[in-house]
Amino acid sequence: MPPSLSDRLTESILGIIRDGGLRPGDAIPSARELAKRFAITTPTVREALRKLEATGAVEFRHGSGTYVGPTINNVVLANPHRPPITKDSVLQLISARLVIEPAVAAQSAVSRQPENLERLEAAVTNALVPPGGPAFALNFHVELAAASGNPLLQEVLASLLKVRVREQQQIRALYDNRARDHEEHQAIVDAVRAQDAVRAEQLTRSHLDNIRQAVEAAPEFS
């Protein structure tokens, strides 16, 4: 069962990106030129590009060009075609985070660098500004994972949280306890700063447990 033409094409296009040293944001050759280069037609090229688009490896900008996407080097990614969200799926997500994140926090307390502490502080304070601020790229829990020094852990957390974006508003609507969140986040940062792994782990666990309880108490959402 030989790989299909469009399969080989995706690999070739990735080869162009890697061999060309292209980084996220850089433009790749136009669909017409790729078609010419590989001696195939544009619909076939577009199929291959769509596959790459689905995984965030490339991005289309109508009229402008095709660009290298932000997650091209990711190992694990959030499913862009997510199933609909239910209260159960939210609780499942929090349960998974309850297993993973405390261990991550402990590791981050050990491995954190001064740069990580800066970003963590920024994430904590940014969360206080009312929504609409542009600096929402910094997510506290993702930055906490980043402080572990392992990009893979950051990817895993980012993927888990990306799925949550859609219902984040719903949770906020039901249980907007920004002040408490802020306090707990700050306490975790302090533990990480002090390189107190045990405390960071335990604070993260109770923080997530608080969120879990809040969601559990909330009514089923639409």
Partner DNA sequence: ACTCACAAACTGACTAAATCACTTAGCCAC
Partner DNA sequence: GTGGCTAAGTGATTTAGTCAGTTTGTGAGT
Does the footprint of a copy of itself cover residue 51 (CB under 8 A)? yes
Query: Which entry of DNA, a copy of itself, none binds 79, CB below 5 to 8 A by partner kind?
Result: a copy of itself
Q: Is 60 in the site for a copy of itself (CB under 8 A)?
A: yes
CA 70 to chain centre: 11
Q: Which of 33, 118, 176, 216 binds DNA (CB under 7 A)?
A: 33
C-beta separation of 58 from 45 below 8 A: no
Q: Considering only residues 5, 25, 26, 54, which one is a binding residue for a copy of itself as defined by CB under 8 A?
A: 54
- Is residue 55 near DNA by the rule CB under 7 A? no
Q: Which residues of 105-124 are buried (b: 16+ CB within 10 A; e: fewer)?
A: bbbbbeebeeebeebbeebb
Q: What token pair was written down for 30?
A: 């136009």
Stretch that binds a copy of itself, among 24-32, 41-49, 128-136, 213-221 (CB under 8 A): 41-49
CA distance 124 to 3: 48
By CB under 8 A, how many residues form the interface with a copy of itself?
Answer: 53
Q: Is the dihedral of CA 147, 199, 129, 92 positive or negative?
A: positive
Element (H, E) at 153: helix 151-174
Minimum distance from residue 165 beta carbon to DNA (Å):
23
Using CB under 8 A as the binding rule, whether residue 189 contacts a copy of itself is answered as no
Site for a copy of itself in 133-162 (CB under 8 A): 148, 150-153, 156, 159-160
* Residue (of 157, 103, 102, 169) closest to 131 by Cα position: 169
Residue with smaller CB distance to a copy of itself, 27 or 75: 75
Tracing tokens 């490896």 back to the chain, one arrives at 57
Q: What are phi and psi of 65, to 5 degrees?
A: 160, -175
Rounded Cα gap, residues 29 and 12, in angstroms:
12
192 binds, among DNA, a copy of itself, none (CB under 5 to 8 A by kind): none
Written as six digits, the tokens of 176 are: 């907007």
Closest CA to 139 of 213, 96, 70, 147: 147
**Does residue 26 touch DNA according to CB under 7 A?**
no
Which residue ranges make up the site for DNA (CB under 7 A)? 1, 4-6, 30-33, 39-44, 46-47, 60-66
Where do contacts with a copy of itself occur on this chain (CB under 8 A)? 4, 6, 10-11, 14, 18, 43, 46-48, 50-55, 57, 60, 62, 71-84, 89, 92-93, 95-96, 99-100, 102-104, 107, 148, 150-153, 156, 159-160, 163
